[in-house]
Structure 1
Amino acid sequence: MSTKTPGKPAFTNQSIIVALYTAAVAFLTYACIFAYRKAFTVATFEGLSFWGIKYQTLLIISQGLGYMASKFYGIKFISELKRLGRWKTSALLIGIAWLCMLLFALVPAPWGMVCLFGNGFMLGFMWGIVFSYAEGRRATDFIGAAMAVSFVFAGGFSRSVAIWLRDSWQVGEQWLGFGTGLVFALPLIVFMYLLERVPAPDAADIKERSIRLPMTKDDRHHFLRQFGGGIVVVVITYLFLSIMRDVRDNFMANMWNELGYGQKPAIFTTTETITSVVVLVVMSLLVVIRKNIQAFRLIHWVIVAGFLIAGVSSVMFLTRAMPGALWMQLAGLGLYMGYIPFNCIYFERLIATFKIAGNVGFLIYIADAWGYLGSMLVMLAKEVAGLQLAWTQFYPASVVIFSAIGILTTLYSLIYFNKKYRLKVDGADQLIS
């Protein structure tokens, strides 16, 4: 059995098996990694605040600042990452992140902020490392989509595990992060071993998607000189998506509490699993579009559709035309339809379209660095300004504004890269003639 597109190498049985294996292992690996990051957010630390800001918010901001710092450093670190020894780097980073959660459980407040900063910094490199196993393949759209929805699913699942530890085993709030990490430790070791056994891209993959190589400083500068205008707009788009996604992810428990679902831990897993399945289906279908420029254009429209779903559902919720549970589901679906392509498909197809000898990690970390900076600034502004809005007021109002801007920037990006592609094609035609 094989699938073949005229002029393109066929998908053989072997390549399909490799794609399914890689997708499953990448999904499970990153889902386990996510448990070391987000499980602690179910703890609200009621009544505890410093400098006029809730301790829960300070912890989330501290972890976010660490994560953001790793993204800025990761622009260099991940883009220069070599293929050998990745598992050792991963084991060291996750091990230190888990140690930070142990220290968090032991030290008094507010020193836990330092521990959460260290945890975020270490884990911030892991997306680029895990994705390096998946990029540069004809099936990367499917593999990347599976990997990307892992943090949608894992965000809810790891919180459900943390709540189970809290309610069934009476684990204290400060120990929830470390305890959840302990639950996921053995599965993570197994999945990291399986990830290391993923075969490298074959000759057909390289022919269609271009070879993926570590990038030097000169390589990075050359790319930005060539496509800098478009990348700036993409970063702005991703900035708004990151703010919407990160605020929802960090304060999901607060929103569900305000909506009256705080005592139903399964709500986290149920809603996020539905979102995961829908997004996985939508994104993985892009693998059937073998022509890179066509897929690249379509991705822009998927992102626009995501902004529309998130924005319209938020307007309906604010005007009481939609119940809160449905709004949470649709807002999550919409923002992940926009957010996930940048983490797995958008930059993959950009590199393949323009035949760039580089890697996706470089571009993802540029976008992520500024995205997390924006997310941190929004959370700080809400606290420092003393805004008393509930999350179910502040968040949907922000989504409406950011969705409108995001639609405009996405359409500009489509026009920009279409123009670049036409210049590339015209230049190639002149060389042939």
Structure 2
Amino acid sequence: MRFRSPYISTRLEQSHQGVLTTWSVIAAFTTYFCMYAFRKPFTVAQYEDLVFWGLGYKVILLFAQISGYALSKLIGIKVISEMTANRRAAMILGLIAIAHLALLPYAVAPYWLKPVFLFLNGLPLGMVFGCVFAFLEGRRVTEAMAAGLCASFIMASGTVKTVGAVLMQDYGVSEFWMPFATGALFWLPLLVGVWMLQQIPPPSERDITARAVRSPFNGAERRQFYRSHATGLTVLILLMVLLTLFRSVRDDYAAEIWAGFGIEKPAIFAQSETLVAAVVIALSAIAVLIGANFRAFFVGMTLTGIGFSAALGTTLYYWGTTSWTEQAAFLFMVLIGISLYVPYVLFHTTIYERIIAMLRYKSNIGYLLYLGDFAGYLSTVILMATVNLVFAKNLDFVALLFWLALIISPLSIAGTLFVIRYFYLRQAVPQTGQPQQLNLETHNRLNPDTGIVS
């Protein structure tokens, strides 16, 4: 699919860096924000009277969709890391169209079959982030662009839940038709966002010098890269697993957590997440001001450690609270959200990006993104299954959030310190047996559409 305007792309390439950054942020934010309208709205319904196989129906639906999403991340390790530039836009639209179509039979299928269609809904959506991020990576301002992209998945989750809740409460849309109806409202802005992404020019020579060439990354190169830094990358992925577990519980069970506080207002989702996004994006974009790659990586990991420390402190402060006011619950959810999303966003905007730039590998960020995401979502599926089988219908989601914070935060702080030391030593000592590094002359022979050297 080609709907790039050479005129607009050239003007953007020749424009001030701030113009290109603003365009890219709007494009990425719009596209990924709209994707959430096809993924998250069903979670706002609680399906309170439905129980299957001894489990709450919402648990089964979440399990099905996240299983598809996790499998998508596994597939994406290969597909996204090897994807050429000319396939990105068509892939984004195709993946979302498949996900939306799956919501149509979901609306009318019998209860026992609905989880199958939510699995099919999640299966394509896990690869959308990598397609969008590929337009942004490898630039001196990647952190600023990616911060806008990551703002979308913080704000969109709450906003599309609010839209879904309004459709049910104010317009009488059923809880099973609501996901399809919500998605239908977002197709027009999605098309605009993808069109804008297509106009973004490839990284400049100055970008290449600062951040290394980004190109398709084949299987042999991926294995070589991982073996060269196996210990550090493994701990980094384990940190992503812990982050994803914590974030998924807070996000996917937000309706139940707010209900546990005694608050059931549709607008609360968008209000809390918009505030979280504003703080998180301001903090995560700081790294764009830091030119030295290890220094930016160090700042990102330090803020990650501070985020986990804040989550632990917030949890201990509110531990034992039995009577929640709306103000106290709102403050708790916002503080926990900021504490979680600062590290989560930094992984996506700075940490992976600067590791590649620091080590100067011929690679792209898609490999690390999808390796971490697959491990994280697979662990989420296992946690959901285990917790719900053990506690069945008596699960207290507020208590679960507290216990996760208490267990995950100290482990993550220790892992953060280890990763900082590991990559400090690795970046200080030249490595042998690295995959081929591409220089500027080689980069100039890259086809801008395919990313393949001519």
What are the within-5 Å matches in structure 2 for residues 26-105 of structure 1?
26-105=28-107
Which of 328, 332, 338 is the matching residue for 1:327?
332
- Is 1:181 matched up with 2:183? yes
CA distance in 2, matches of 1:61, 1:157: 22
Provide the secondary structure at the position in 1 that maps to 2:38: helix
Provide the secondary structure at the position in 2 that maps to 1:345: helix
Structure 1 runs of 4+ aligned residues shifted over 4 Å read none
- Is 1:258 matched up with 2:240? no
Aligned residues of 2:23 and 2:196 also touching (Cα < 8 A): no
Aligned residues of 1:213 and 1:357 also touching (Cα < 8 A): yes
Provide the secondary structure at the position in 2 that maps to 1:386: helix
Over 3 Å counting, the alpha-carbon distance change for 1:398 and 1:222 in structure 2 is: same
Q: Deviations over 1:41-73 (max 9, x none)?
A: 111112111110111110011000000001111
What are the within-5 Å matches in structure 2 for residues 134-145 of structure 1?
134-145=136-147
What are the within-5 Å matches in structure 2 for residues 101-116 of structure 1?
101-116=103-118
Could you tell me which amino acid in structure 2 is paired with residue 380 of structure 1? A
Deviation at residue 112 of structure 1 after TM alignment? 0.8
CA distance in 1, matches of 2:189, 2:26: 13
Unpaired stretches in structure 2, ≥5 consecutive residues: 1-12, 433-454
Deviation at residue 242 of structure 1 after TM alignment? 0.2
Residue number in structure 2 paired with 1:281 = 282
Deviation at residue 16 of structure 1 after TM alignment? 1.8
What are the within-5 Å matches in structure 2 for residues 413-432 of structure 1?
413-424=419-430
Aligned residues of 2:213 and 2:362 also touching (Cα < 8 A): yes
CA distance in 2, matches of 1:90, 1:424: 38
Residue number in structure 2 paired with 1:5 = none
CA distance in 2, matches of 1:251, 1:332: 13
Residue number in structure 2 paired with 1:359 = 364
Deviation at residue 324 of structure 1 after TM alignment? 2.3
Provide the secondary structure at the position in 1 that maps to 2:404: helix
Residue number in structure 1 paired with 2:303 = 302
Could you tell me which amino acid in structure 2 is paired with residue 174 of structure 1? F
Could you tell me which amino acid in structure 1 is paired with residue 159 of structure 2? F
Residue number in structure 1 paired with 2:441 = none
Residue number in structure 1 paired with 2:18 = 16
Could you tell me which amino acid in structure 1 is paired with residue 411 of structure 2? I
Residue number in structure 1 paired with 2:343 = 338
Provide the secondary structure at the position in 1 that maps to 2:391: coil
Residue number in structure 2 paired with 1:268 = 269
Provide the secondary structure at the position in 2 that maps to 1:201: coil
Unpaired stretches in structure 1, ≥5 consecutive residues: 1-10, 427-433
Deviation at residue 398 of structure 1 after TM alignment? 1.1
Aligned residues of 1:55 and 1:110 also touching (Cα < 8 A): no
CA distance in 2, matches of 1:425, 1:224: 13
CA distance in 2, matches of 1:68, 1:338: 20
Identity %: 33
Residue number in structure 2 paired with 1:404 = 410
Deviation at residue 191 of structure 1 after TM alignment? 1.1
TM-score under structure 1 length normalisation: 0.93
Q: How many residues align?
A: 416
- Is 1:317 matched up with 2:318? yes
Deviation at residue 225 of structure 1 after TM alignment? 1.3
TM-score under structure 2 length normalisation: 0.89
CA distance in 1, matches of 2:404, 2:428: 36
Q: Kindly report the root-mean-square deviation, in angstroms, between the aligned alpha carbons of the 2 structures.
A: 1.7
Q: Deviations over 1:359-416 (max 9, x none)?
A: 0000000000000011111111111112534111111111111011000011101111
Provide the secondary structure at the position in 2 that maps to 1:37: coil
Q: Deviations over 1:3-61 (max 9, x none)?
A: xxxxxxxx996222111110111011100011110011111112111110111110011
Residue number in structure 2 paired with 1:429 = none
Q: Deviations over 1:159-191 (max 9, x none)?
A: 011111111211000011101001111111111
Deviation at residue 96 of structure 1 after TM alignment? 0.6
Aligned residues of 2:68 and 2:123 also touching (Cα < 8 A): yes
- Is 1:370 matched up with 2:371? no
CA distance in 2, matches of 1:147, 1:68: 20
Provide the secondary structure at the position in 2 that maps to 1:97: helix
CA distance in 1, matches of 2:255, 2:289: 37
Q: Deviations over 1:55-94 (max 9, x none)?
A: 1110011000000001111111111010012111111111
Deviation at residue 425 of structure 1 after TM alignment? 9.3
Aligned residues of 2:276 and 2:337 also touching (Cα < 8 A): yes
Provide the secondary structure at the position in 2 that maps to 1:424: coil
- Is 1:117 matched up with 2:119? yes
Q: Deviations over 1:405-432 (max 9, x none)?
A: 0000111011110110111399xxxxxx
Residue number in structure 2 paired with 1:350 = 355
CA distance in 2, matches of 1:116, 1:315: 37
